[in-house]
Structures are given as structure tokens and as C-alpha cells.
Structure 1
Amino acid sequence: MIPSSLRARFTIIAACAITVALVLAGFMLTLIFDGNIRARAVAEVGDDLRTLAANARIGPDGRLVIDGDLSDPRFRTPYGGYYWQAGRDQQIDLKSRSLLDFTIDWRPQPPTGNDVAIYERPAPEGRRMFVLERRVVVSRGGTPTIARIVVGLDQGELDEARTAFIQFAASSLAALGFALVAALWFATSASLAPLRALRAALMEVHLGRKTSVEGRFPDEVKPLVDDLNALLQARNADLVTARARAGDLAHGLKTPLAVLTSTARQLREAGQAEAAADIEGEVQRMSRHVTRELVRARAGVRAFRRSHPTPIAPVAATLTRALSALPSPRPIAFETRIPAEAAAPMDETDLTEVMGNVVDNARKWARGKVLITATEAAGAIHIAVEDDGPGLPGDALSYEIERGRRLDEQVEGSGFGLAIVKDLVEAYGGDLTLTRSPLGGLKVDIVLP
């Protein structure tokens, strides 16, 4: 699964690239080390070979003799890893004490001239050795004799050095890889800082604290910021135009509605009450529809502009005072449980309209108590209005939400109704649900992100 984070993507890709590069680097370093250590071993063994060749002679008994001995003690240690052997043709005349009863297999033909042959041969204890062989011309009494001298080095010496180097190189390259990935992580974080600043600036616009994206951005991001600001300005202009057109439409309908209302009154005075009632009903329906569309248009503009959050407690206090003063067949106690710092991300006028409709409906249904609460959870404001009235059946609750049925169809004089309230809430990206209250009546839950 591809991560959604740019920093994570870049880090994963960079880590893979660094891993491949370090593996290749380790492989190349190992090859270089192998070549270097082999060259040093050849040089060291070659010195021993030249020393042996320089001291070779034919003794009085006609046998090959090498005066002196090599200084490295491993030539004298049984199976010590360093070996030499000398002879003529396929015959072995001398060998190092390190070989004991082991012999090095001669090549079929000795090297020519002063060339040095390098090849591999079996070593004691089932190991392998690489061997340097040289032809030496020795004489006795003026008669030249061809001698062969070989010096061998146990391959295990090189393998141990190679293994130690690989372990050291692997740990060093792994530490380097982790350091590079960590450095790239911090470098990526620093490189993405302008995007985080852009996100914060957009949030300021979303919350209504700014009208455009402000800040200093690098040249690579600035065109995007300019395009966003142009888009915000164009969207704002379109919303303002739409709101103006809705207002013009409402004003344009006022005169025809007023004429229809006057006609209905004249018909009623003329004794045609039934026709007058039909006209008045249609006029009221059209008025409600126009009012609803105006509210939705106004809320859409305000929601887009995202004004400063409105404190909920003062709005609730004003509403409860006003509604307490209205005549009621029974006393209603309003209880509010709203923290002083609770604020809704909604224009004050729209919040008053939403809460006013819901609280007024609760007042009309309540037997004696209306409870208003506000809490903040999971980054959203939850406003709940409950009453202790008869409530609504479960199927009616579902119908209210699914079909947008207005509460004013069941209770006379309930304002814009649930459809208007829901339109306002949804214009701000919120949600409205109806459930049964623990008080026994209806509970209206409003969630605003």
C-alpha cells in the first residue's frame, strides 16, 4: 500500500535508493579489498620467493641447497599457512617444516625465463592455497641446472581478512545508511515546511480569520498560492452575485404575492371565501419557499466566508429570555448547560435562527422542561435541545430526517421548520439528527465541525 504522506513516500524511495547504492558500494569495496589484499599477499610472498631463489645452489652431493631460512615463523610452524618447496623437474629436494609430510603438486611445466606463475593448489587439512612459482638456474662446476621453487599462502588467511572486512564494511555502511535516511527525513521535513505553512494559511481562510492565503512562500509554491487566492476571490464574487440574484428574485416576487394577497382579500369580501382560502394557501406556500431559498443562499455565503465562531451561551440566554416572555398554557423551565468557552463555527444570525426554531419547537411540545446543552468532542461542537413532551414515534423520527418534513406541519407557528434548520446546518458542513430524549420527549442533535 502506497502511503499518502509525501514525506513518507520520499523517505521510502530514498531509503530504497540508498540501500541499493550502499549494497553496490559494499560489493565494489569488497572487490577492491580482495584485489588489494591479494596484491599485497603476492608482493609479500614474492619477496620470500626471491629470497629463496637468491640463496639456491647445488651442494657437493649434487642436491639442491638453499642457504639460510625465511624469517617468518609460520614457515616453521606445522601447517602454519605459509609454505615453500624446491626441487628439479618433478622431484622435490627441499620444503619448509610447515608442510610436514604434505607436498605441493608441481605444474606440468615450470615458468619460462624470469616469469612468476600464480595458481592455486590444495593445502593441508583440506584447505586451498595460492602458489607463486619461479624457475631458477643454478650451476655447479659450470654446468647449469634448472630448479623450481614455489611459495604458497593458505587461502584461509585471505578469507579471514576478507570476512573481517565485510563485517566492518557492512556495519559501517548500515550506520551510514541510517544516518543518511535520518538526514533525508529532516531535510524532507524542512523542504515540506512551505506546504505545512500553506495548509495553516488555508485553515485560517477556512475558519474565517483571513480572506486570502497570506505568508511568504518559495518560488516553487508561490504560483499555487496565487492560483488559490484567485480561486477564492472568484468563488467569493460568485457567491455574492448569487446572493444578490436571490435577493432580487425575492424582491421581484413581493409585488406579485402582494397582488395575489389583495385579490384574495377582495374575493373574501365578495363572499368567495373558498377561492380566497385557496389563493392565500398558495401565497403562503410560495412565501415559505422564497424565504427558505433566501436563507439557504445567505447561509451558503456566510458558511463559505467562515466568520469567527459565535459563543453559544449568550445566544441561548437571549433566546430563553425571549421565549420565557411568550404566553404559554403551562410554565416552562429552561435549563442550559453550556460552557462559557463553547463556540459554534457559524454566523451569529444563522446560529440564532437555528437554535431559535429548535428551542421554540421544544417549548411548544414540552410539558414543563427544556434542556439545552453544548459540548465539544472530536473537533466538533455538539448542540442538543431536549424536551419532556410526548416526543415523536420512531417512524416519524426517520421520516423527518429522510424526507425533510417540517415540524410546522404538526404544530402551528413553528417558524421556518426543520427543513430550514437542516439546510442552515448542512450549509456549514454540519449534521442534524432526531432521537428520543431521556426526558421523554424529542432530542434534536446538531453537530458542527
Structure 2
Amino acid sequence: MNSLKARLVLAGVMILAAFLGLTGLALDQAFQASAREGVRAKLQAQVYGLLGALELDAGGRVQMPDQYPDQRLQQPGSGSYAQVIAAGPGQSAAPVWSSRSLLGRELGYHHVPLDSGQIHFERTALGRDGLFELRFGVVWEYAPARSRELVLRVLESDAAYRGQLWQFRRSLVLWLGVAGAILLLMQVLVLQWGLRPLRRIPADLQRIHAGEAEALGGHYPHELRPLTENLNEFIRAERTRGQRYRDAMADLAHSLKTPLAVIRGAVGQSREAELNQVIGEQTARMQEIVDYQLQRAALAGRGGLRKRVNLYTTLQRIRDSLSKVYADKQLEFELRVDPAQELAIEAGDLMELLGNLLDNACKWAVARVRVSAGIDAAELRLSVEDDGPGIDAADRDRILQRGVRADEATPGHGIGLAMVRDIVQAYGGRLEIDASAELGGARLVLVLPRTA
């Protein structure tokens, strides 16, 4: 069953059916107990009426008046019956008196010893008819020092009881059915209302897909806000990656126009040696541009699940490589980084970030390059300093633009710091440029969130 609503409705129906069934059973048992108690009270009142009318003569024989307390006892087959049973020692526990209503009927009797004043109540049968029976034990003193043990037995047809029970059960089933239907309808309505925010999400996503909305809007319940916020974040990330990819492709096409134009001009005007030199230079430049733009476009594919990379180990590898590249400078590298510090970042991205920053520092440094890292509750700050001439405040924003260099005489194409900026922004961070207070040169600071 793939429908969440159907599952909830089915679970509700099962719970409701169990609840109503148990409720009906409990009410039925309670009604039966109450009805039986009513029959018992009625039969007990008849026993007391018989006691008031009963007399024993001098010989201990039972005498009853012609008119009984309950007129039904005089009508044969009325459903109300009475007997007086001799139950003393030496007695056969046989009836010594029976009401006229028992005319032509035989009542079996199973003797149950009863003390004086003791009551026994049960349900029995007379042929096919069900009966309620109440017995009352009594010791009747009819002469000085002479008494007789008797059992007064009254019976009542259970037809009225069964009729009441059937009527009650019919009403009970009807009203429980009505209550169940109402509760089920209310449950469906509550589910419709409760699941309405979930139904809004596909509709809002369709509007976003159609370009009618920028993100999931409106007020969603607290339970759905993590979902909608993550969806909005995913939508924003996808838009950013898509835009970055489109920009990279557009920049690639635009950047290749100039080298291609130079090649075309050289083919038509230059000699063969000069042509080879121009083609070599321009194809090298085109390769750099292509590599940069493809790397920049690849930023669109970076996901949120990354392995942790050791920062100190990566810095050591880059330091060893740059020491060979700038061996003529005899630079002193100072790494103020915790050897156990790790970052949740793509290893290639970390190499690109640190490689560009350290290469830039080595390019301008006189003798010293320092790398230090600090971390707090919210972010990591990684700074790269050198003792070179530094970067003028007026140039700090400009050199982050692609193709711009602080010194045009220095080799390069001005894409290293732009690449650093793009990568660090993809991770939700930023690149800061200021002056090194201790070394006197430039200080470039990578600020990354703790999740990186």
C-alpha cells in the first residue's frame, strides 16, 4: 500500500473497529447484568409476597389463600410460577404446594441446601422455555418447639428478558454503527486537513518547475520545515551550479575568441618561425583557459557528502613541491597548524586552494612564508602570509577578478585567486585579503564554515 492516507485510514478503521467492538461488548455485558439484577429483585419481591400469604396449620401443613399476591400465579402458562418445597430432614425435597400457573406442567427440582434467609438465583429451563429461578430458604415455627424447613421457589419466563436484550443489542449496534461512521468521517476529514501541507509541496514544486515561483513559500508546519528548508537549499544550490556552469561555458567561448583571432592573424601575416611561436603561446593560453573554465564548471557538481582530509599533511605536500619550484629563493616555510586538524572538503579542492595561495605567496615572498589555522565554534580561518611587498588596498578586490594581476610584468594569467574565490564560495566561505602585521607582506585568509 503506497498511499500514506490509505495507510492512516486503514489503521484508524482497525483501531476504531476494535474500540467500538470492545465498547459494545462491555455495554452488552453491563446491560445483561443490570437486567438479570432487575429480574432477581422482582422474583425476590414475589418471594416476600408468598411469605406474607403462607400459613402452616397445627400439623405443619402448608396453607395458601385462594387469591395469590401475584395474579399471574393463578393463570396457567402465564410465565410466572411458584412452589413451596419441603426441605427438612427426612423430607423428599418434593413440592408441597404449587401455583395454579403450573397446571399441566412439570418442573424438575434439583435440591440445593439453603439456610434460613439464604437466596439462590439461577437461570434454568422448562421444556423449551428459559426461566429465571429464585429460591429462598426458611425455617417456619408453627408450634412451640416445632418447626419446618421450607424452600420457597419462584420462577419467571426469560421471554421479556430476551426481548429487552434483543432490543438493546439492536439499538446498540445501530448507535455504535452511527458513531463509528461519524468518527470515521471525522478521521478522514482530519487526515485531509492534516495532510494538506504535504499535498502543497508537489504543487509548489510544480510552480517552481514552471518558473512561477523561486522557492517553496508559505507557512508549513514545524514538522515539515526541515524538509522544505532542505528542498529550498537544494533548489538554490542547483540554480547556483547551473548558473555557474552556464557562465563557465560562456566565459570559455568568450576567452577563446582572442587567442583564435591572434592565430588567424598570425597565419596570414607571420613567417613560419614566428607563426610556430605564436601558435605555441596561444594554444598554451587556450589550454589554461579551458582547464580553468572546466574546473570552474565542475564546482556545480560538488555534493554535501565528503571525506575528511588532513590539513597538515596536504600543506606538507604542497610545501615540498614549492620548495623545489622556488629553490633559488631558499624560502623558509612556517606551518602553524595542528597536525590532527581535518576538513570535510574534496581533496582536489583543498589542493587547489592551498596550492594557489602558497604559490602566490612564494611568487612574491622575499624569504618567509607562514601558514596558520584557527578554529572556533562557527568557522575555520586559514591564513597564508609572506614578507613580500604586499597588496595595495585599492587592488585587493580587483585582483580577484579573472585575468587581472597585481603586476602585469609577473608571469601568469590572473586566474589563480579567482579560482580560489570560486571554490571557497562553493563551500559557503569567503576569501579575505589584508596586510600581514608581522611579516609585512600580504595576508590571504580562507574563511570556511565548520562543516568544511
TM-score (norm 1): 0.54
Instruction: State the match for 1:172 in structure 2.
Output: 175
* Shift of residue 239, structure 1, vs aligned partner: 0.9
Counterpart pick for 1:228 among 228, 231, 242: 231
* Shift of residue 150, structure 1, vs aligned partner: 0.5
Distance 1:72 1:11, change over 3 A: farther
* Shift of residue 68, structure 1, vs aligned partner: 6.3
Counterpart pick for 1:114 among 83, 104, 117: 117
Distance 1:30 1:265, change over 3 A: farther
Instruction: State the match for 1:27 in structure 2.
Output: 25
Per-residue deviation, residues 97-150 of structure 1 (Å, max 9, x unmatched): 222222333333431121101234331x42232311112222333321112211
Distance 1:63 1:251, change over 3 A: same
Q: Distance in 2 between matches of 1:117 and 1:219?
A: 65
Amino acid at match of 1:203: Q
Counterpart pick for 2:9 among 5, 8, 11: 11
Q: Distance in 2 between matches of 1:136 and 1:232?
A: 93
* Shift of residue 260, structure 1, vs aligned partner: 6.5
Counterpart pick for 1:213 among 179, 202, 216: 216
Q: Does 1:129 align with 2:131?
A: yes
Q: Does 1:81 align with 2:83?
A: no
SS in 2 for 1:221: helix
Distance 1:63 1:247, change over 3 A: same
Q: Distance in 2 between matches of 1:86 and 1:266?
A: 144
Asked whether the equivalents of residues 136 and 152 of structure 2 are also in contact (C-alpha less than 8 Å), the reply is yes
Instruction: State the match for 2:64 in structure 1.
Output: 66
Asked whether the equivalents of residues 116 and 139 of structure 2 are also in contact (C-alpha less than 8 Å), the reply is no
Asked whether the equivalents of residues 85 and 153 of structure 2 are also in contact (C-alpha less than 8 Å), the reply is no
* Shift of residue 44, structure 1, vs aligned partner: 0.9
Counterpart pick for 1:245 among 232, 244, 248: 248
Asked whether the equivalents of residues 104 and 121 of structure 1 are also in contact (C-alpha less than 8 Å), the reply is no
Q: Distance in 2 between matches of 1:102 and 1:223?
A: 82
Q: Distance in 1 between matches of 2:264 and 2:157?
A: 116
Amino acid at match of 1:80: S
Q: Does 1:149 align with 2:183?
A: no
- Describe how 1:354-373 pairs up with structure 2 within 5 A: none
Q: Distance in 2 between matches of 1:264 and 1:77?
A: 137
Instruction: State the match for 1:275 in structure 2.
Output: none
Amino acid at match of 1:138: W
Counterpart pick for 1:193 among 192, 196, 202: 196
Amino acid at match of 2:143: G
Instruction: State the match for 1:184 in structure 2.
Output: 187
- Describe how 1:92-107 pairs up with structure 2 within 5 A: 92-107=95-110
SS in 2 for 1:220: helix
Distance 1:244 1:133, change over 3 A: same
Q: Distance in 2 between matches of 1:194 and 1:91?
A: 80
Per-residue deviation, residues 392-426 of structure 1 (Å, max 9, x unmatched): xxxxxxxxxxxxxxxxxxxxxxxxxxxxxxxxxxx
* Shift of residue 60, structure 1, vs aligned partner: 5.9
Amino acid at match of 1:224: L
Pick the structure with greater CA Rg: 2
TM-score (norm 2): 0.54
Amino acid at match of 2:251: D
SS in 1 for 2:114: coil
Asked whether the equivalents of residues 50 and 69 of structure 2 are also in contact (C-alpha less than 8 Å), the reply is no
Asked whether the equivalents of residues 216 and 228 of structure 2 are also in contact (C-alpha less than 8 Å), the reply is yes
Asked whether the equivalents of residues 64 and 87 of structure 1 are also in contact (C-alpha less than 8 Å), the reply is no
Per-residue deviation, residues 310-359 of structure 1 (Å, max 9, x unmatched): xxxxxxxxxxxxxxxxxxxxxxxxxxxxxxxxxxxxxxxxxxxxxxxxxx
Farther off after superposition, 51-60 or 72-81: 72-81
Distance 1:188 1:73, change over 3 A: farther
Runs of 4+ displaced beyond 4 Å: 68-73, 255-267
* Shift of residue 24, structure 1, vs aligned partner: 0.8
Instruction: State the match for 1:389 in structure 2.
Output: none
Per-residue deviation, residues 245-274 of structure 1 (Å, max 9, x unmatched): 22233234445655666688799xx9xxxx
% identical equivalent positions: 25
SS in 1 for 2:137: strand
* Shift of residue 179, structure 1, vs aligned partner: 0.4
| Structure 1 stretches lacking a partner, 5+ long | 271-289, 301-449
* Shift of residue 33, structure 1, vs aligned partner: 0.7
Instruction: State the match for 2:330 in structure 1.
Output: none
Amino acid at match of 2:215: S
SS in 1 for 2:76: coil
SS in 1 for 2:223: coil
Q: Distance in 1 between matches of 2:133 and 2:173?
A: 30
| Structure 2 stretches lacking a partner, 5+ long | 88-92, 273-289, 301-452
Q: Distance in 1 between matches of 2:12 and 2:228?
A: 28
Q: Distance in 2 between matches of 1:189 and 1:11?
A: 11
Distance 1:220 1:73, change over 3 A: farther
Per-residue deviation, residues 71-99 of structure 1 (Å, max 9, x unmatched): 55543343322211113132212222222
Q: Distance in 2 between matches of 1:73 and 1:152?
A: 14
Q: Distance in 2 between matches of 1:87 and 1:93?
A: 6
Instruction: State the match for 2:50 in structure 1.
Output: 52
Instruction: State the match for 1:421 in structure 2.
Output: none
Amino acid at match of 2:80: Y
